[in-house]
Amino acid sequence: MGILEKISEIEKEIARTQKNKATEYHLGLLKAKLAKYRAQLLEPSKSASSKGEGFDVMKSGDARVALIGFPSVGKSTFLSLMTSTASEAASYEFTTLTCIPGVIEYKGANIQLLDLPGIIEGAAQGKGRGRQVIAVARTADVVIMMLDATKGEVQRLLLEKELESVGIRLNKHKPNIYFKPKKGGGISFNSTVTLTQCSEKLVQLILHEYKIFNAEVLFREDCSPDEFIDVIVGNRVYMPCLYVYNKIDQISMEEVDRLARKPNSVVISCGMKLNLDYLLEMLWEYLALTCIYTKKRGQRPDFTDAIILRKGASVEHVGTSTKYSPQRVGLTHTMEHEDVIQIVKK
């Protein structure tokens, strides 16, 4: 039995098993096995044929945004509108065959936008070019999930399931669990909160499935078995995601209002160029960037060449920027957007 068949059998077993106290250990073990097989499935191929697929794009600019979605939801049109890059667009499926990079210039920052080939259902199992698409998506700072507003929630649910199965966690934080394998001493289990989803026995069973018999585990929040498995595997990616519903000019105002009120969601129409400015504002917030200007002594501030930093950066980060002389500034003041700073040598 191949890996795909094993994954399918485990998924069917999980689906038909009722969730209750009596089955929690069985389900925990099944989820641990499922995570192991999925990790094996997504390991890069060693064959020479896997080279030269055209997906390795050098990271550039101040941030990277992955644009993903099903074929023909408007990703190529969006890229053409937001950047100077032309990505082939048509009304039929599978137009984009390689990864198309473009650059959004916004508030002094250069944001790399990657138009990835349309993800299809089953991409996480290696169908189509889904594996390469997902590998590039894991390197992004933010994911824009482009959805067809005329097709309801079906696309969103399928894409979330696909990304979840390959270790991409959207709009979630890393579980607050301390986990450290040891050479001996057995499994030391503790928690600082009341646990309602995981027990010490379940934790031990999951660890044994991964052939881990000596480790230190400390739960600092009430996490699920799936989140604990994520900590063990250790290769999960946690990133913000904007759900962008395109083609709102083809649905009712009531439906537009419903979609716009959903968390982490923006409604647009690439065809009619509606609400694109608000989407850029939201993208800037999700990237958590801030723009800083410098000033030389006795001169006016230079507003032509900004330093782009992450929110929460201090004066010290500006002083050690690669754009300017690496002078260390001994202040911990947090910089705000469009602050002007003059670096003075001690």
Average pLDDT over residues 79-99: 57
Instruction: Say how far apart CA 280 and CA 285 lie, in whole Å.
Output: 9
Distances (CA, A) of 77 to 96, 150, 247, 269, 338: 11, 17, 11, 10, 31
Instruction: Name beta bridge partners: 63.
Output: 111
Block residue for tokens 């394998």: 181
Instruction: Say how far apart CA 339 and CA 346 lie, in whole Å.
Output: 21
pLDDT of residue 316: 58
Residue 341, phi-psi category: left (phi > 0), alpha (psi -120 to 50), beta (remainder)? beta
Instruction: Say how far apart CA 305 and CA 95 lie, in whole Å.
Output: 37
Instruction: Say how far apart CA 215 and CA 206 lie, in whole Å.
Output: 12
φ, ψ at 205 (rounded to 5°): -60, -40
Q: What is the pLDDT of residues 213-266, one digit of tens each?
A: 999 999 999 999 999 999 998 889 999 999 999 999 999 999 999 999 999 999
Residue 12: pLDDT over 70 = yes
Q: What is the pLDDT of residues 107-147, one digit of tens each?
A: 888 898 887 765 544 555 555 555 666 777 788 999 999 99
What is the domain class of 289-342 according to CATH? alpha beta
Instruction: Say how far apart CA 180 and CA 193 lie, in whole Å.
Output: 19
Residue 84: pLDDT over 80 = no
Q: What is the pLDDT of residues 54-76, one digit of tens each?
A: 455 667 778 899 888 888 888 88
Pick the CATH number of 63-172+237-287 from 3.30.360.10, 3.40.50.720, 3.40.50.970, 3.40.50.300: 3.40.50.300
Block residue for tokens 């089953």: 122
Whole-model pTM: value is 0.78
pLDDT category of residue 18 using cuts at 50, 70 and 90: confident
Contact 302, 293 (CB under 8 A): yes
Exposed / middle / buried, residue 19 (Cβ in 10 Å: 0-12, 13-18, 19+): exposed
For the chain, give the longest Cα–Cα distance. Answer: 75
- Highest-confidence segment of 32-41, 212-221, 293-302: 212-221
Nearest to 124 by CA among 4, 288, 293: 4
Residue 256 CB: number of other CB atoms within 10 A? 18
Instruction: Say how far apart CA 40 and CA 168 lie, in whole Å.
Output: 16
Block residue for tokens 């050690």: 320
HEC secondary structure over 180-230? EECCCCCEEEEECCCCCCCCHHHHHHHHHHCCCCCEEEEECCCCCHHHHHH
Instruction: Say how far apart CA 236 and CA 165 lie, in whole Å.
Output: 10
φ, ψ at 237 (rounded to 5°): -115, 125
Residue 81: pLDDT over 50 = yes
Q: Name the residue ranges covered by the structural domains of the chain.
A: 3-43+175-233, 63-172+237-287, 289-342
Residue 276: pLDDT over 80 = yes
Residues 6 or more apart in contact with residue 267 via CB below 8 angstroms: 149, 244, 245, 248, 256, 259, 260, 275
pLDDT of residue 128: 52
Average pLDDT over residues 187-206: 92
Residue 306, phi-psi category: left (phi > 0), alpha (psi -120 to 50), beta (remainder)? beta
Q: Give the chain's mean pLDDT.
A: 79
